[in-house]
Amino acid sequence: MKSTLKKLLPFAVVGVLSGATTVGVQQYLSHDPNNGDQSYFTKSTNASFVGMNTATVGDDFVKASKTTVPAVVTIKNYQNRASSRASDQDLFDFFFGDPFGGKGQQRQKQQQQQTPDNIPSGLGSGVIISPDGYIISNNHVVAGANKLEVVLSNKKSYIATLVGTDPNTDISLLKIEEKGLPFLNFANSDNVEVGQWVLAVGNPLGLNSTVTAGIISAKGRGIGILSGQGKATNPIESFIQTDAAINPGNSGGALVNVNGDLIGINSAISSTNGYYQGYGFAVPANLARKIIEDIKKFGIVQRGFLGVNSLDLSNDQQVAYYNKEKKTNIKTGSGVYITGLPDNSGAQDAGMKVGDIITKIDGANITDFADLSIAIGSKRPGDKVQVTYSRNGKDITSTVTLKDQKGGTSTRTKADLTVTEKIGAEFQSLDDRTKAYYGLNSGIVAKNVIEGSEMAKAGIVDNYIITDINGKPVNSQKDVENILNKFSGTVQIKYMDDYGRNYTRGFKMP
């Protein structure tokens, strides 16, 4: 795992500040109907800069801190430890390094055996974004939870409802039942500039309501962390990089400007030892806000796709590998090179071809895949974008209608999802040889299990064998669809893990 990471990120081992499966090993930690949703979607148009006068800087930091701290919460993730897997510690090593001298897995097993169930498996941070209790955080902070507790800065606690998650952006939305809460406004993160003063607010290493200051070090960073986890199928990475100190427990916390407006959600660090070494990364507020709007309005994220297979020309390693594999001589540079176009994609419909180099989306420069990722990933199916691309040295601009992964151009709700989409997994038929080996008369293999889905909550991961659903044998994905189509209530699933151990678990059909 670490050797793979070194190839992808030679500058450092990238660490996600996990408040669920990873940070669990750390020691931590009257509604006005006229302004409810309005405040939730309020967007500040100002992104202020701090002058060099030290007194002014201090005053601005104090004002921003007083605004932000009451709106940042602690999130406690409680899990069923009996279903925890040894690979959880591997994830900790992957994201943070193993500061325990190679004894991380042993320590994880001891913790699982010794820690009572009333102690959280992990802790992270969240940001209140409306007075009626909506809270934004990271997907990895809430992943795998069977109970989520939110603790305000005034120590008052609530049991939260998980409204929805998006592993592709590492964003989640929670809700607590309360009114008149302090909250933060979303700022326009497109307006922030490198060198601008920012504050990071969260609960690192058990230190509640911690404020750190720094500057924006870079924008549009793609660091490979979301796809590296193996959880994001179509990751969107265009992080704001900051040197404000961030540590495990800060995940899901606020990155704010000196007005106290939310410009990002702290998500990851670049570190060789799992702790702060100067580089933190936050999901831009504009992207986070779009994801939250989708979850709140539709119940699922609406994701538009350009419909191209691509090569990041700014990535020397990717280009070299592609040239070696395909026996080509593509030059490195700026832009995104099209290596393929699926049939019926928006890009193909607009006349784009293999070999075109995408240079602009809606007039904004596309220098690398991170630029393309956020420019398209922040759109919905049916949206039209102006794509400028270079073909044989000539610039061409075409209008592309974005589609979803099934080729549709309309938004969808949870009611429009297939059964397998609702429960969060796909299935393959089990071959007769494997059935005979395990002594089974039926079975399907789970594939592409989505983190946080109903199947994942039941303890099922990729390659587990499912034999029965609601007491009926299953031998194909069609069987799953037929059994659960229009079904409501508790679903009972019998399955087998990698070691041939049998389980019976259940979940409420979404």
Name residue, tokens 């979301």: 226
Instruction: Identify the active-site residue in 88, 132, 170, 479.
Output: 170
CA dist 259 and 47 (Å) reads 8
Tell me the three-class secondary structure of 352-404, residue by residue: CCCCCEEEEECCEECCCHHHHHHHHHCCCCCCEEEEEEEECCEEEEEEEECEC
Sign of the Cα pseudo-torsion (339, 340, 345, 349, in order): positive
Question: What DSSP assignment string belongs to 129-159?
Answer: -STT-EEEE-HHHHTT-SEEEEE-TTS-EEE
Exposed/middle/buried for residue 191 (C-beta within 10 Å: 0-12, 13-18, 19+):
middle
Decide if 170 is catalytic. Answer: yes
Q: Which residues contact 154 (CB under 8 A, 6 or more apart)?
A: 70
CA–CA dist 441, 465 (Å, integer): 12
Q: Which residue has the tokens 């994801």?
A: 291
Q: Catalytic residue at 251?
A: yes
The answer to whether 87 is a known catalytic residue is no
Least Cα distance to 345 among 309, 302, 393 occurs for 309
Per annotation, catalytic residue among 18, 44, 140, 310 = 140
Quickly list H helices, 97-215: 104-114, 139-142
* Per annotation, catalytic residue among 121, 153, 217, 251: 251
Of the candidates 271, 266, 251, 277, which has an alpha carbon nearest to the alpha carbon of residue 95?
271
Show which residues are catalytic.
140, 170, 251
